[in-house]
Structure 1
Amino acid sequence: MSIVTNLRHYMEKYGFYVSTRLADRMGIKARNVRITFIYFTFATLGAGFAIYLIIAFWLKLKDLIYVKRSSVFDL
């Protein structure tokens, strides 16, 4: 496997899942969201990466605050 493939698999496994979650919410492929972030990052000289990190931080906080409970008895 190439270095790029290994890096992609690592980021998909241990990443923030920003692209996947946004893609699921919008009903499109996660690959398209990733490519959009990449193009946006190059076009704005790094602002896309900053936005990605802000969204990742926001999603992490949201996950910590809103914990899904499986039943009423988990309260």
Structure 2
Amino acid sequence: MRYVKDLMERSAFGVCSYLGDKMGIASARVRINFIYISFVALGSPVILYIFVAFWLNVRNYIRRKRSVIWQ
């Protein structure tokens, strides 16, 4: 069971972990709330999730490029 959880966290872009760290709450709580909100809002938060995942990926890419420039 732990393997499946680790696999999902790595392949899910780390959006819930990032939001949990920024808000100071457990990432598991963010995931559960996201699932509940997705059911209530008929899946529309998935668009927000994909946007945040894209934004985090671009941000990490830019940070990697900057560290290379300054070294």
**Counterpart of 2:30?**
33
TM-score (norm 2): 0.79
Q: Who wins on radius of gyration, i.e. which is larger?
A: 1
SS in 2 for 1:69: helix
The amino acid of 2:12's aligned partner reads G
- Gap regions ≥5 residues in structure 1: none
* More helix by percentage: 2
Give 5+ residue unaligned stretches, structure 2.
none
Cα deviation digits, residues 12-69 of structure 1 (max 9, x gap): 1332000001111111100111011101110110111111111101111111112363
Percentage of matched positions with identical amino acids: 36
Offset, 1:6: 5.1
Q: Does 1:54 align with 2:65?
A: no
TM-score by length of 1: 0.75
Partner of 2:18: 21
- Maintained 8 Å contact 1:37/1:52: no
